[in-house]
Amino acid sequence: MAETVAEGSGRGRARVVVVEGRSGSGKSTVAGRLRAELEARGVPAAVLSMEDLYPGWHGLARAPELLVSWVLEPLRDGRPASWHRYDWERGEFTAARVPVPSEVADGGVLVVEGCGSGARIARPYLDLSVWVAAPDAVRARRLDARGDAAVYAPYRRVWAEQEAVFYAAERPREHADVIVDNPRGA
């Protein structure tokens, strides 16, 4: 996967890869490994987590629009791209913006990981879409083991319901270029 993405880098614009899948499937791990592999090949890479863009626990549906308007459209148009990071403790977006590093914007790879990154609205801007699949039992174990499991627990059902609605409507798995089967949650 890294080889395919690396081949198109360095052409003056960022390439965008999304790593999509249900909570606990291993998206963050896959995105981190992809970034490390790209950097080992000399390709500038950065990871943007959709957790920065969700406007709270009920914000999955809105986040893809923010991804497109704050990050993907500016990158496509050769403009500086940045986003406001959602502050989960304060319950609002920060005033300061987080920029896409210039070396990434100028020919590197931006890896966007998280539920919603493969939305229909984002697809025209993507160079590669990855779906990470894991069995429900593996996902549940991973979610239980998260460092923020106690914070996440009261919202787990709310989030799962949003995922179900999103995935039924948007069908990102069917539009993925690569499917990573993660049966053990590695």
CATH code of the domain covering residue 29: 3.40.50.300
Angle among Cα 144, 149, 152 to the nearest 5 degrees reads 120
Name residue, tokens 């709270």.
56
pLDDT in tens, 92-129: 999 999 999 999 999 999 999 999 999 999 999 999 99
pLDDT (0 to 100) of residue 184: 77
The DSSP secondary-structure symbol of 11 reads S
Helix (H) or strand (E) segment spanning residue 170: helix 156-170
Residue 93 counted as domain residue = no
Helix (H) or strand (E) segment spanning residue 45: strand 45-49
Residue 136 counted as domain residue = yes
Domain count, the chain: 1
User: 144 falls in which pLDDT band (50, 70, 90)?
Assistant: confident
Residue 25 counted as domain residue = yes
Provide CB contacts within 8 A for 170, sequence distance 6+: 118, 119, 120
pLDDT (0 to 100) of residue 154: 87
**36: amino acid identity, one letter:** A
pTM tops 0.85, yes or no? yes
Name residue, tokens 């409507």.
169
**Distance separating alpha carbons of residues 104 and 95, to the nearest angstrom:** 23
Q: Which of 4-8, 72-76, 144-148 has the highest mean pLDDT?
A: 72-76
pLDDT of 36 over the 70 cut: yes
Q: Residues 170-184: what's their mean pLDDT? A: 94
Q: What domain range is 157 assigned to?
A: 2-46+102-181
Q: Residues 66-83: what's their mean pLDDT? A: 96
Q: Residues 118-141: what's their mean pLDDT? A: 95
**44: amino acid identity, one letter:** P
Tokens of 101: 């590093």
Say if CB 111 and CB 47 are below 8 A apart: yes
- Sign of torsion over alpha carbons 68, 101, 30, 32: negative
Residue 17 counted as domain residue = yes
